[in-house]
C-alpha cells in the first residue's frame, strides 16, 4: 500500500470510528470521506441514494444498515468495511484499473474458487456434483491465487464447489493468512457446527451464504431429507455469535413462485440473513433438464418481485441474471469475476465450463490475457439490452463464437460437453426471453440511465463507466 493509499485508509477508518459512536446520526459522514477519495466513481454512484435512504427513518435500507451495528460482531463489521469497501473497492479498484490499462485485459473485483469437487450431499441436477469427488485445489494453490489476485487489486474471494466447507480447515487458514481479504463460501451449511462457527467468529473475515431451495419441502426434495433443518441450525449458530450471513437461492420453473413470495422474503429476514443471492437454473451438463429453465414470464416475475421487495425488505438482494443493468451486463471472463474449478481450470464463470488455461501451469494474469478471457473482454457487453446479459442463456451465439474462435476446451470433467450441444439447450429460451426483455428494457432502461446520470451530476462527477 502506497503512502496516499494509507492516508485514504486512515481517513476512512477514522470516519468509521466516528460513525460507530452514533450510527443513527453519523452514518452519512463516512460518505464524505469515501467520495473524496473515489477516483473510480464506484462510491459516488451510490452516495446520493444512500444519503436519501439514511434520512428516511422508515427506509428498509436504513434498517438493514443499522442492523449491522446491533446484530453483527464489531470485529466482523470492521473487517467488512476494511476488506470489501476499502481494500476491495476504494483502493483495490485503483490497482485493478491500472492493471487493466497496463495489461490490456479484464481484471476482476472478485475470484470464485472451488476448493474441492467433494460434497457431503448429492443434490438433484447439481452441476458441481458431476465433477466427482476426486478433485481438489491444494492449500498452496489457493494461497497462490490469493497472492496473485492481491497483486492485481483483488481482495474478495468466493468459494463454491463441491461443498467448500469440506475443506474448512484450509479455508480458515486462508482467512488467517490474508486478514486483509474477505472470503465468502456458497455452502449448504450442513458442516457448520459449534467449533467451526467459533472459528468463523475468531477470524472475522468469513461471510457465508447458505444455499436453500425455498421452503423445507423444496429444499429436502432436491438436497436430501433433513438438509433444511441442518441449514437452519447453521443459521442459528451464526446468528447466536453475531456472524452475518446470506442465503443463496436457485429459482427454476418449478419453485420460482415460492422463492419470489413475500412470505419467503420475510422468512429470510427472520432467519437473520443480511443478503440473498438469486441464481436461475442453467442447463449445464449432459443430464441437465432444460424444462427447469425459468420461462420468460417466470423470469419477469422474479425481476418484478425483487424490485418490489427492494423497496420494503431489510435485505440486500442480488439477482445474478436480472441485475445486468447495474453493472453493464455480463461480469464474467475477469470483468468483475472469474471461476477456478477444482481441477485448476480458469473458467470465465461458474456456469461456463470452457477454458484454455490451468493454474497447474499458468498464472492468473496469463489466463486473463488468454484467448478465452480476451474473447469475453472484447465481446462484453454481449447485448445492448442489459436484461439479456448472458452469452449462454441469452445470447448463445456469442458463447459458441468465443469457444470456437478461442479453441477453449470443455472443462466438464464428468462428461465434456460440446458448446454447440450446450447452446442448443438455451436457444429457444433466449428467443422467448428476448420478446419479454426487449419491451421491458425499452420501458425501464432509459430511467435507469437517467437516474445514474442525475446522481453523478448532482455529485459533480461524470456518470460512472463500468470496466469493459
Ligand atoms: S456468463 Fe452468464 S451467468 Fe456468467 S456472469 Fe456472464 S451473464 Fe452471468
Q: Check residues 1 and 394 and name the one with the higher pLDDT.
A: 394
Residue 138: burial class (beta carbons within 10 Å; 0-12, 13-18, 19+): exposed
Instruction: Tell me the three cell numbers of residue 19.
Output: 460513525
Residue 320, Ramachandran bin (φ over 0: left; ψ between -120 and 50: alpha; else beta): alpha
Higher pLDDT, 450 or 222: 222
**Percentages helix, strand, coil for the chain, rounded to the nearest 5?**
50, 10, 40
Q: In this predicted model, what pLDDT tens digit does every residue of 111-125 receive, in sequence order?
A: 999 999 888 887 766
What's the sign of the alpha-carbon dihedral 297, 301, 302, 307? Answer: positive
**How many Cβ atoms are within 10 Å of 148's Cβ, its own excluded?**
16
**H/E element, 318:** strand 316-319
CATH 3.20.20.70 fits 106-118+135-315, yes or no: yes
- 330 C-alpha to center of ligand 1: Å? 5
Q: Name all residues whose Cβ lies below 6 A of ligand 1.
A: 320, 330-332, 349, 351-352, 389-392
Count of C-beta atoms within a 10 Å radius of residue 330: 28
Our mutation pick for probing the ligand 1 site, out of 106, 281, 333, 351, counting the most ligand atoms within 8 A of Cβ, is: 351
Domains in the chain: boundaries:
3-96, 106-118+135-315, 323-468
Measure CA 174 to chain center: 19
For ligand 1, the distance from its centroid to the CA atom of residue 393, given in whole angstroms, is 8
For atom 7 of ligand 1, the residue with the nearest CA is 390
What is the Cα–Cα distance from 162 to 343, expressed in whole angstroms? 12
- Measured in angstroms, how far is the CA atom of residue 391 from the centroid of ligand 1? 7
Give the closest residue to 315 by CA, choosing from 257, 259, 272, 260.
Answer: 272
Question: What's residue 468's pLDDT?
Answer: 47
Joined grid coordinates for residue 364: 492468473
CA–CA gap between residue 104 and residue 122 (Å, rounded): 41
Average of per-residue pLDDT values in the chain: 89
Burial grade of 137 (CB within 10 A; 0-12, 13-18, 19 or more) = buried
Task: State the pTM of this model.
Answer: 0.91
Per-residue pLDDT tens over the stretch 201-240: 999 999 999 999 888 888 888 788 899 999 999 999 999 9
Cβ atoms 159, 184 nearer than 8 A? yes
**pLDDT tier, 386 (very low <50, low <70, confident <90, very high otherwise):** very high
- 68-77, 112-121, 367-376: least confidently modelled range: 112-121
The per-residue pLDDT for range 256-297, each reduced to its tens digit, is 999 999 999 999 999 999 999 999 888 887 777 888 889 999
How are beta strands 156-159 and 275-280 bridged, if at all? unpaired
What would the pLDDT profile of 302-340 be if each residue is shown by its tens digit?
999 999 999 999 999 999 889 988 889 999 999 999 999
From the alpha carbon of 352, which atom of ligand 1 is closest?
1
Q: How far is the CA of 66 from the centre of ligand 1 (A)?
A: 32
- Which residues 6+ apart lie within 8 Å of 229 measured at CB? 216
Report which of residues 359 and 449 the model is more confident about. 359
Amino acid at each position: 500500500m502506497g503512502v496516499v493509499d494509507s492516508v485514504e485508509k486512515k481517513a476512512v477508518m477514522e470516519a468509521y470510528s466516528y460513525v460507530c459512536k452514533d450510527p443513527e446520526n453519523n452514518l452519512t459522514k463516512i460518505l464524505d470521506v469515501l467520495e473524496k477519495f473515489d477516483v473510480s466513481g464506484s462510491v459516488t454512484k451510490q452516495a446520493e441514494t444512500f444519503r436519501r435512504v439514511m434520512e428516511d427513518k422508515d427506509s428498509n435500507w436504513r434498517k438493514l444498515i443499522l442492523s449491522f451495528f446491533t446484530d453483527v460482531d464489531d470485529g466482523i463489521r470492521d473487517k467488512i468495511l476494511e476488506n470489501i469497501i476499502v481494500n476491495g473497492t476504494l483502493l483495490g479498484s485503483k490497482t485493478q484499473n491500472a492493471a487493466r490499462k497496463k495489461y490490456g485485459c479484464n481484471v476482476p473485483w472478485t475470484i470464485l474458487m472451488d476448493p474441492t469437487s467433494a460434497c457431503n450431499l448429492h443434490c438433484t441436477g447439481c452441476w458441481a456434483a458431476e465433477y466427482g469427488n476426486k478433485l481438489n485445489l491444494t492449500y498452496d494453490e489457493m494461497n497462490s491465487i490469493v497472492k496473485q489476485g492481491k497483486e492485481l487489486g483483488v481482495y474478495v474471494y468466493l468459494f463454491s464447489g463441491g461443498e467448500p466447507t469440506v475443506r474448512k480447515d484450509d479455508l480458515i487458514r486462508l482467512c488467517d493468512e490474508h486478514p486483509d481479504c474477505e472470503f465468502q463460501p456458497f455452502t449448504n451449511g450442513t458442516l457448520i457446527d459449534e467449533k467451526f462457527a467459533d472459528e468463523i467468529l475468531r477470524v472475522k473475515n468469513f461471510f457465508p451464504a447458505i444455499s436453500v431451495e425455498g421452503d423445507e419441502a423444496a429444499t429436502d426434495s432436491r438436497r436430501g431429507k433433513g438438509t433444511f433443518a441442518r441449514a437452519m441450525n447453521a443459521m442459528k449458530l451464526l446468528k447466536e455469535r453475531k456472524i452475518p450471513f446470506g442465503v443463496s437461492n436457485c429459482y427454476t420453473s418449478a419453485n420460482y413462485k415460492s422463492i419470489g413470495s413475500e412470505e419467503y422474503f420475510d422468512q429470510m429476514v427472520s432467519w437473520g440473513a443480511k443478503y440473498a443471492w438469486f441464481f436461475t437454473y442453467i442447463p449445464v451438463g449432459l443430464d441437465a433438464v432444460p424444462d427447469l429453465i425459468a420461462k420468460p414470464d417466470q423470469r419477469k416475475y422474479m425481476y418484478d418481485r425483487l424490485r418490489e421487495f427492494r423497496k420494503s425488505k431489510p435485505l440486500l438482494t442480488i439477482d445474478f441474471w436480472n441485475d445486468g443493468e447495474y453493472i453493464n451486463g455480463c461480469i464474467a471472463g475477469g470483468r468483475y469475476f472469474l471461476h477456478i474449478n477444482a481441477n485448476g481450470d480458469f473458467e470465465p464463470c461458474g456456469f461456463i465450463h470452457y477454458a484454455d488455461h490451468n493454474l497447474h501451469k499458468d498464472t492468473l494474469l496469463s489466463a486473463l490475457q488468454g484467448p478465452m478471457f480476451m474473447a469475453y473482454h472484447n465481446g462484453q457487453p454481449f447485448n445492448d439490452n442489459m436484461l439479456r446479459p448472458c452469452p449462454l442463456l441469452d445470447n448463445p451465439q456469442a458463447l459458441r463464437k468465443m469457444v470456437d474462435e478461442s479453441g477453449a476446451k470443455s472443462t466438464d470433467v464428468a462428461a465434456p460437453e460440446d458448446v454447440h450441444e450446450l447452446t442448443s439447450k438455451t436457444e429457444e429460451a433466449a428467443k422467448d426471453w428476448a420478446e419479454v426483455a426487449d419491451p421491458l428494457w425499452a420501458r425501464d432502461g432509459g430511467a435507469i440511465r437517467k437516474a445514474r446520470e442525475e446522481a453523478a451530476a448532482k455529485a459533480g462527477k461524470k456518470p460512472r463507466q463500468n470496466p469493459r
